Amino acid sequence: MSATRRGAFITSVGDLLASWNLPHATGRVYGLLLMTEEPASLDAIAAELDLSKGAVSTAVRQLNSWGLAKVIPQPGSRRLLVEATGGIESLLEASHARARTLIAALRDGEALLGPGPAQDRLQDVIGLFAGYVDVGSELLDRHRR
């Protein structure tokens, strides 16, 4: 793949993740990791993307928290290597975990409300997120089979 096409891919992943309210740099780091055969050091990522090591470190923490990257400590060294994980499957699993946490918090709020429009609205939101988790879980189960 040409360097131009590779750069365009990395930028497009950055744009996509930015549309999901993640920093553009985080998306660019993920795009690079998806294109990298071997785990990469923070220094190598920073150099290739022309980002500061701090920006790369922040991006890697975010990607790790979303299940999109795995950090590999190097024994006897402070150096870390990073690699992309399974991708969309990991993203959906992380999204489902966050949705389940939101559902639990919203259900706590149900006890504070009596019958009426606010309770109906809260139950609709809970139903929407519960449906999202159920459908997504079915999709992941089918994908794994």
What confidence tens digit (pLDDT) does each residue in 76-113 have? 888 889 999 876 677 777 778 888 999 999 999 988 99
User: What confidence tens digit (pLDDT) does each residue in 55-80 have?
Assistant: 999 999 999 888 889 999 888 888 88
Q: How far apart are the first and last CA of the chain?
A: 32
- Please state which architecture CATH assigns to domain 3-85: Orthogonal Bundle (1.10)
The full set of domain ranges for the chain reads: 3-85, 89-144
**Model-level pTM greater than 0.85?**
no
> Does residue 99 contact residue 132 with C-beta atoms inside 8 Å?
yes
Measured distance CA(7)–CA(3) in Å, rounded: 6
> Does residue 140 contact residue 93 with C-beta atoms inside 8 Å?
yes
> Does residue 30 contact residue 84 with C-beta atoms inside 8 Å?
yes
